[in-house]
Structure 1
């Protein structure tokens, strides 16, 4: 049983939960941390120790730090394209926005995602 926002959740309720990568959690917690800092007029007002430790953990074990790369990876993971051509058609920003990826890099991402699928 877990307590989240004053509500108790039991194990069966987590069966419908969506999994997040550490890099996604890091982005979420970073935004929340910034919001908490902006809302606080008192500089001595700090976030909880659990929040701070959680943020440190996901930052330490996050392999991806670029928000665009995280979004692209999540889209690829959700849609499971089989070829580089299919991936570039689905996620146009892989080739067009910011740091575009070479076909070899995209192929490596797809291979990594396919390897993960094999272990399911």
Structure 2
């Protein structure tokens, strides 16, 4: 069987490695990388020479695409998304993209509408509203 036939994110067929892995949102990665850069700066007098370019570029990327910057807001987002019994993959995608409507959410994460999941459109809409409130008061 071809690899494309085996993996299908719409059906949460993303491979065992990804199903078992802890997925992080961009905003969580930003916090971690920022801490690492701070540690490197403290360990050296010449901070710019101690931060590897790949680390710096990665930090710039996740900061640019992070929807949430406040650490408390990031924690709230994970808590809100975790309450809906989402997989790590779904949680990370919704946290990164922050869709505004149920239609957008289902378009980016089709597995939300998989039969037997028990996630109604009302539950998705409530979840999206909570994310918008967190962003609004961040």
TM superposition score normalised by structure 1: 0.55
**Contact 1:26–1:55 (8 Å) recurs in 2:** yes
What is aligned with 2:117? none
| Pairing 1:61–2:65 present | yes
RMSD of aligned alpha carbons: 3.0
Gaps of 5+ in 2: 1-14, 86-97, 112-138
Query: Deviations 1:30-85 (Å, cap 9, x if unpaired)?
Result: 0111011111234453311111110000000111111111100101111129xxxx
Gaps of 5+ in 1: 1-10, 82-108
Q: 1:75 to 1:44 in 2, by over 3 A?
A: closer
Moved >6 Å (runs of 4+)? 111-115
* Distance (whole Å) between structure 1 residues aligned to residue 48 and residue 30 of structure 2: 23
Q: 1:80 to 1:113 in 2, by over 3 A?
A: farther
More helix by percentage? 2
What is aligned with 1:38? 42
**Contact 1:22–1:61 (8 Å) recurs in 2:** yes
**Contact 2:40–2:47 (8 Å) recurs in 1:** no
TM superposition score normalised by structure 2: 0.49
1:81-100 superposed matches below 5 A: none
Q: 1:66 to 1:112 in 2, by over 3 A?
A: farther
**Contact 2:41–2:48 (8 Å) recurs in 1:** no
**Contact 2:29–2:62 (8 Å) recurs in 1:** yes
* Distance (whole Å) between structure 1 residues aligned to residue 69 and residue 51 of structure 2: 22
